[in-house]
Structure 1
Amino acid sequence: MKLIPDSAPCLLRLLLLAQLFVHSAPLPVSNRTFCRGFREMKRRLDNLSMSSSTLHSLGDDELVTMAAGNRLGHLPNIEYTAADISSIKLNAALSQLYVHTQAFKLHLDWLNTASNNISVPSQPAGDASAHLHALAHLLQSSLQQEPELTSYSLPEVSSTFDLLHYAAEISERLKVFCDWSKRLLAYLRKSHCL
């Protein structure tokens, strides 16, 4: 290839501009948004974890009995190991967190409505639902594509005893979800935000 005289400086400038563009190209939106929102997500999970224990007024022994069983089959059941956390990808992890967050929010809204229907104070469920709503918003802004949510029906609550049973089950699963989510977010932050 024969170069036109005096074209070398022009080509050199173009090459430098191209390199500048490559080095200044932003990271994928989800990485930046996730890294910026990490502290707020963690704070929401900490608050949610504290709120989860106020969904009922049971002692530890009573709680074990009431939370036993799986009456709410659609409620996320977190069964992951440390190896599972370290193998998950950012977008898949955020999508999964978003789906689980929306499922818990749906259950807490349902619990809140059921509490109102049988005239039982429902402030704790409303507080926890507000934290889940904020967490879902933060996760949604970090996602490149919003995952599809599954719809399902929830049982009718006919007594205060049923309500307490459901509140205990949601509370215990929510604690596990918060613990797992904080560990997962810490791992993702370490691997994607440094």
Structure 2
Amino acid sequence: MELTEYNLDSLPEMEHTANHLSSLKLNDSLSQLYTDLFSFKLHVDWMIDARVNMSLPVSPKTLEVAKGLHNLSSFCSTALQQIACTLPQISTPSFPTQLKAWDVALLSYEIPERLRFYCQWSTRVLLLLRSKVQRL
């Protein structure tokens, strides 16, 4: 699969509207957060493997992000179990196998940028959920 065919559609998106934000539910939001964080973890792990296979350096920050995603998805898993929700099934995306170093460099930029944007929205969602739970 060439990079031109791989457009990272498998990465989660955060497209919340004001209506959506006002109707958030704890169990649905945590399930979605768990699924999305796990998906980002799979993408970051794949990116690290691709860089290693091409003898490209992997920054300590990238390794820290991978560990953080693992910890956050584990935290969400525990929270879901505590509120008696079943863990959502997560399918592994298909990743390109034959890339050039330039392709890996581009993806190594795009994946963290998308994660950064996702985290900004997720923070807003979690703050809204926290305020809703505290009012109960």
1:121 has 2:62 as partner: no
Distance across 2 between alignment mates of 1:157 and 1:72: 15
1:174 to 110, 115, 127: 115
Identity %: 37
Equivalence for 1:79: 15
Equivalence for 1:97: 33
SS of the counterpart of 2:20? helix
Alignment TM-score, normalising by the size of structure 1: 0.61
When the two chains are superposed, the root-mean-square deviation of aligned CA atoms in Å is 1.4
Check whether the contact 2:40–2:69 (CA below 8 A) recurs between aligned residues. yes
> How big is the shift at 1:83?
2.4
Equivalence for 1:29: none
User: How many corresponding residue pairs?
Assistant: 125
- Correspondence list, 1:138-177, <5 A: 138-143=75-80, 144-177=85-118
Letter in 1 for 2:18: A
> How big is the shift at 1:167?
1.4
Alignment TM-score, normalising by the size of structure 2: 0.85
Deviations 1:108-141 (A, max 9, x none): 0000000100111113332111000010011111
> How big is the shift at 1:92?
0.1
Distance 1:180 1:157, change over 3 A: farther
> How big is the shift at 1:102?
0.4
Equivalence for 2:44: 108
Check whether the contact 2:42–2:92 (CA below 8 A) recurs between aligned residues. no
User: Unaligned stretches of 5+ in structure 2?
Assistant: 1-5
Letter in 2 for 1:132: L
Distance across 2 between alignment mates of 1:157 and 1:78: 29
Distance across 1 between alignment mates of 2:49 and 2:38: 16
Check whether the contact 2:14–2:118 (CA below 8 A) recurs between aligned residues. yes
SS of the counterpart of 2:67? helix
> How big is the shift at 1:171?
1.7
